[in-house]
Amino acid sequence: MKFVDEVTIYVKAGDGGNGAVCWRRESGIPRGGPAGGDGGDGGSVILEADEGLHSLLDYKFISKLEAKNGENGRSKNKYGATGDDIISRVPVWTQIIDLDTGSILADFTAHKQQVTVCKGGSGGFGNTRFASSTCRAPYFSKPGLPGEEKKIKLSLKLMADVGLIGFPNAGKSTLLSRLSAAKPKIANYPFTTMVPQLGVVNSYDYKNFVIADIPGFIKGASEGIGLGIRFLKHLERVRILCHLIEPGNDVFNRYQIIRNELLNFNPILCDLPEIVVFTKKDIVVDFDKEFQISEFERRKISTRYLSAITGEGVDNLKNELHRMIHTSFLGN
């Protein structure tokens, strides 16, 4: 299934039906008086969160959502029918943004949560409503009100306990496959992961947690370079950052580049609890030299090492992430 996490659509609620100007005409009843019914209300556009959905793919083929108009009032004081509402489903963790005002209309966090994005217009009054002692035969009615309309953006931000970050080929996908049952694409070239990948980490001793492999990190990502900021937004819902670094020159400098991209995108991300994980331990000859361990220790940055290929250090990392998540929950 193709992963789509952002779409723009036009939404329009139904217009209210017009009130009717009608008269009572029955045999033996002279001067029957006004008998125009009210128009029906227009239908509303409602969005509902569905935990069974994981992408906005369906909306790639929908440019607009339009609810039904209310029917006009009729004779004999009959009301027009109310227009049907549209209830359209989106994944949990979807934000609804009004593009005209920039305001967030909804931020879904639970199954079956609903929001009325556009309210239907009210039906107009028929001429019966306007009859009075001084106006026994009103030759006018009230038109229905137009339904609301908006251009909105649907933005899906995945929810995970741990976000895996780092440069391409740092080993994020391989680690995700070792920690969970996820089957991400793994290859030795940049941007193997083109969409966020989620996995559930199981444990006999602790509560399960969700881990996400977030692609797109290179220098300038927060400014649109490479995969740009397309997927960085998914980090805004994680609790812990797990920063993976592979062997090579200027290790600490590469770590700082990623931190700067987080700072430029959303400074709050730099305040999240973080653990730095040195990867590919199986190919490292001089561990301290390759990873500039002293520089991280001097700045009191928590570090671990592992080899996702051999499995060395994977269980220790899993236990540490459990501990950090538990501490994070207690902190809330």
Residue of 217, 39, 34, 212 lying closest to 142 (CA atoms): 39
Model confidence over 128-148: pLDDT tens digits? Answer: 999 998 898 899 999 999 999
For residue 64, give Cα distances in angstroms to 7, 101, 196, 208, 312. 11, 19, 27, 39, 52
Domain boundary among 105, 134, 156: 156
End position of a domain, from candidates 156, 187, 211:
156
Residue that terminates a domain, selected from 129, 156, 183: 156
How many of the other CB atoms lie within 10 Å of CB of 137?
Answer: 12
Residue reference for tokens 């009103």: 138
- 222 with 286, same domain: the answer is yes
Residue 56 lies in a domain: yes
Residue 245's domain comprises 162-331
**pLDDT band per the 50, 70, 90 thresholds, residue 192:** very low
Residue type, 292: Q
- Please give the Cα distance from 12 to 43 (Å, whole number): 9
If one counts every other C-beta atom within 10 angstroms of the C-beta of residue 187, the result is 10
CATH number at residue 245: 3.40.50.300
Q: 3-class DSSP state for residue 98?
A: strand
Q: What is the pLDDT of residue 29?
A: 66
Residue pair 21/46 in contact by the 8 Å Cβ criterion = no
Structural domain contains residue 107: yes
pLDDT over 70 (residue 35): yes
pLDDT band, very low/low/confident/very high, at 26 (cuts 50, 70, 90): confident
If asked whether residues 148 and 171 sit together in one domain, one would say no
Spatial separation of the C-alpha atoms in residues 79 and 77, rounded to whole Å:
6
Judge whether residue 232 has pLDDT over 80. no
Each residue's pLDDT tens digit, 148-177: 999 999 998 877 889 888 888 777 888 888
249, part of any domain: yes
Query: What's the confidence (pLDDT) of residue 208?
Result: 80
- Answer yes or no: do 50 and 68 share one domain: yes
Return phi, psi of residue 163, to 5°. Answer: -110, 125
Q: Find the helix or strand (DSSP H, E) in which 179 lies.
A: helix 172-179
Q: Give the mean model confidence (pLDDT) for residues 273-286.
A: 82
Instruction: Supply φ then ψ for residue 250, to 5 degrees.
Output: 55, 50
CB-CB neighbours of 118 under 10 Å: 26
- Show the tokens assigned to 183: 């089957």
Smallest Cα–Cα separation from 130: which of 80, 71, 77? 77
